């Protein structure tokens, strides 16, 4: 049941991270740095050793907030053989949310809260760990009709503890949104790189900044990108169709429209408090989702409300 009343703040629970690669290892390291008690597990002994050297307790016994930071295809089996405390809250960092909600969410019911930090690089594995990865990043935390708000807050507090800003969202809305800003950019980067390859060695020898920026994510692990686009195929196809429609001439109109959106987005990200309206939102699902839909974020959790901001205008 969604709580619609003040929820008292609790002592920060321990965090257990399953999958100690780029995202999970970075989260574990950042939480250790923030003074939180952190344990974890990975099938790869090298990832376990790297995490242990950063202060993570390696164990198969998981409690508190259990974070699934494994590749999408491993989400449904990653907790097999591990002991999860019956009161633990389970969350994940997967890049798509509806499929994880359908599987892990079905297994853990109201104890599950989906999440997705909007950060990461084209690198992967424990050698790509960066404890500062989450600083200033948006972190989608899913609020479904049956989400337990107390558990949602526990997950949100993990995100806030590592410097992220929390975006309350439903899994379906998340998937539609990230199709446009994550899955399609990965497909376009791949298409750009492949088409430049078709253009031949002269074109590649002249490739510079525009090509590098447009194709950066094409360097990502192909298995990771495939799992992401295939796991969100409907919204990705719809978002890609909108891009294809945009590419039909007249190009000057496309260029002007793209410039307007990109410039406003950059200004919004760099303007700081200018252009933002600070607000307090009550601890209630409708108010939190309205904040997320307006492009706003949660920055602090207080006893009876959260603080954050929404863009002006
Ligand atoms: N890379 C990104 O940019 C990015 C951004 C946001 C979210 N994500 C999501 O985060 C998750 C992890 O991505 P990543 O980039 O950190 O991947 P990664 O490959 O860097 O790390 C994954 C880790 O999981 C471990 N692992 C695999 N199967 C396991 C299992 N069954 N049990 C325990 N450990 C297991 C691997 O050994 C590896 O250490 C994915 O679900 C991805 O969709 C990635």
Q: What is the DSSP letter of 282?
A: E
The residue contributing the CA closest to ligand 1 atom 32 is 78
Strands 38-41 and 65-68: unpaired
With tokens 């389970």, the residue in question is 90
Nearest C-alpha neighbor of 120 from the set 186, 61, 206, 65 = 186
pTM over 0.85: yes
Residue 229, burial from CB neighbour count under 10 angstroms (0-12, 13-18, 19+): buried
pLDDT of residue 313: 72
Long-range contact set of residues 295-298: C-beta below 8 Å, sequence gap at least 24: 296/167, 297/138, 297/165, 297/166, 297/167, 298/156, 298/160, 298/165, 298/166, 298/167, 298/168
Ligand 1 centroid – CA 120 distance (Å): 11
**Hey, which of 19, 59, 104 would you mutate to test ligand 1's pocket, going by the most ligand atoms within 8 Å of its Cβ?**
19
> Which atom of ligand 1 is found nearest the CA of 72?
41
Atom 33 of ligand 1, nearest CA residue:
42
What confidence score (pLDDT) does residue 227 get?
97
Q: DSSP labels for 146-193?
A: T--HHHHHHHHHHHHHTT-EEEEE-HHHHHHHHIIIIIHHHHHHHHHH
**How far lies 199's CA from each of 89, 193, 195, 204, 220, in Å?**
51, 10, 6, 8, 22
> Which tokens sit at 71?
């590749």
pLDDT at 6: 54
**Domains in the chain, ordered, with CATH?**
15-169 (3.40.50.720), 174-248 (1.10.3660.10)
- pLDDT at position 294 is 97
CA of 97 to the centre of ligand 1 (A): 15
DSSP conformational letter for 54: T
Token pair for 219 = 């360097």
CA nearest neighbour of 156 among 309, 257, 32, 15: 15
Cα 310 to middle of ligand 1, angstroms: 31
Mean pLDDT, the chain cut into blocks of 10 residues (313 residues total): 52 95 98 97 98 98 98 97 98 98 96 97 96 98 97 98 98 98 98 98 98 96 97 98 95 96 84 85 97 98 96 85
Token pair for 69: 């930071």
Which residue's alpha carbon is nearest to atom 42 within ligand 1?
Answer: 94
CA distance linking residue 236 with residue 304, whole number of Å = 38
For residue 165, report the distance from its CA to the centre of ligand 1, in Å.
21
Task: Name the residue of 16, 17, 23 to mutate for ligand 1: max ligand atoms within 8 A of Cβ.
Answer: 23
């Amino acid at each position: 049941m969604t709580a619609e009343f003040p929820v008292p703040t609790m002592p920060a629970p321990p965090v257990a991270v399953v999958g100690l690669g780029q995202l999970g290892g970075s989260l574990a390291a950042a939480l250790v740095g923030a003074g939180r008690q952190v344990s974890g597990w990975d099938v790869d002994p090298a990832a376990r050793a790297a995490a242990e050297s950063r202060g993570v307790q390696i164990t198969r016994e998981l409690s508190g907030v259990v974070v699934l930071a494994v590749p999408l295809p491993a989400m449904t089996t990653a907790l097999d053989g591990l002991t999860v405390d019956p009161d633990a809250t389970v969350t994940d960092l997967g890049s798509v949310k509806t499929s994880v909600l359908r599987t892990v969410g079905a297994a853990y019911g109201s104890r599950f809260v989906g999440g997705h930090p909007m950060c990461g690089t084209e690198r992967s594995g424990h050698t790509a760990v960066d404890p500062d990865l989450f600083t200033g990043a948006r972190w989608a935390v899913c609020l479904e009709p049956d989400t337990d708000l107390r558990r949602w807050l526990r997950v949100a507090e993990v995100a806030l503890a590592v410097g992220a800003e929390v975006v309350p969202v439903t899994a379906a809305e998340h998937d539609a949104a990230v199709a446009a800003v994550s899955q399609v950019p990965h497909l376009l980067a791949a298409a750009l790189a492949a088409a430049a390859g078709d253009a031949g060695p002269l074109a590649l020898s002249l490739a510079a900044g525009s090509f590098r920026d447009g194709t950066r994510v094409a360097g990502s692990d192909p298995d990771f990108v495939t799992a992401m686009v295939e796991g969100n195929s409907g919204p990705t196809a719809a978002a890609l169709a909108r891009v294809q429609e945009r590419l039909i001439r007249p190009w000057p109109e496309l260029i002007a429209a793209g410039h307007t959106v990109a410039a406003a987005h950059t200004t919004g990200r760099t303007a700081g408090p200018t252009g933002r309206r600070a607000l307090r939102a009550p601890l209630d699902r409708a108010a939190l989702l309205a904040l997320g839909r307006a492009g706003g974020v949660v920055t602090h959790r207080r006893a009876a409300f959260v603080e954050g901001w929404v863009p002006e205008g």
